[in-house]
């Protein structure tokens, strides 16, 4: 009984993650198109790496997630950058958002999405640089971490 419940919870987590990705990829309310794009992306990853594409995607998400984010607040005619720690759901949300926004820049979304996922799983690429910049920004403004009132 306990094994069945555990497997059921894992499958629910998979479904929730896929639904989140579909929602971020949705163009003009066409969810079928987003499902098709993500499916083709996973197929392309599996062809190039010859590994399980879902595992590659999870590794990429883990590598791209960042525990810290920043918010800019205006205080006395100057803007202050306030770093704060993220919850697990927000970390995943930001990682997916980074991947999708970078892949939507050019015309061929499936190719760019698979490229970004592969680079993320190898700890390389523009996403990793973006996260390093975010971490440096938050580290340089760590003095304002106690100002988190929002």
| Cα angle value 105/127/68 (rounded, 5°) | 125
Q: Write out the H or E segment, with its range, that includes residue 79.
A: strand 78-85
C-alpha 121/C-alpha 29 separation (Å) is: 29
Tens digits of residue pLDDT in 56-75: 998 999 999 989 888 888 88
3-class DSSP assignment, residue 81? strand
11 phi and psi, to 5 degrees?
-65, -35
> pTM (2 decimals)?
0.80
What crossing angle do the helices spanning 2-25 and 88-103 adopt, rounded to 10°? 40
Least confident residue range of 6-10, 49-53, 88-92: 6-10
* Structure confidence at residue 8 (pLDDT): 42
Tens digits of residue pLDDT in 11-46: 546 668 888 888 888 878 888 999 999 999 999 999
Mean per-residue pLDDT over the chain, rounded: 84
3-state helix, strand and coil shares in percent for the chain, rounded to the nearest 5: 70, 10, 20
Q: Could you give the domains of the chain?
A: 2-147 (1.10.455.10)
């Amino acid at each position: 009984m306990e094994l069945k419940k555990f497997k059921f919870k894992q499958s629910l987590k998979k479904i929730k993650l896929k639904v989140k990705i579909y929602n971020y990829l949705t163009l003009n309310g066409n969810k079928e198109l987003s499902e098709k794009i993500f499916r083709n992306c996973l197929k392309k990853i599996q062809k190039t790496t010859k590994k399980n594409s879902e595992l590659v995607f999870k590794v990429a998400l883990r590598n791209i997630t960042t525990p810290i984010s920043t918010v800019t607040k205006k205080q006395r005619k100057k803007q202050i950058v306030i770093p704060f720690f993220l919850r697990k759901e927000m970390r995943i949300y930001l990682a997916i958002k980074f991947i999708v926004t970078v892949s939507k820049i050019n015309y061929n979304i499936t190719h760019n999405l698979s490229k970004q996922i592969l680079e993320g799983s190898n700890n390389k690429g523009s996403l990793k640089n973006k996260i390093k910049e975010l971490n440096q920004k938050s580290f340089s403004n760590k003095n304002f971490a106690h100002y988190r009132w929002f």
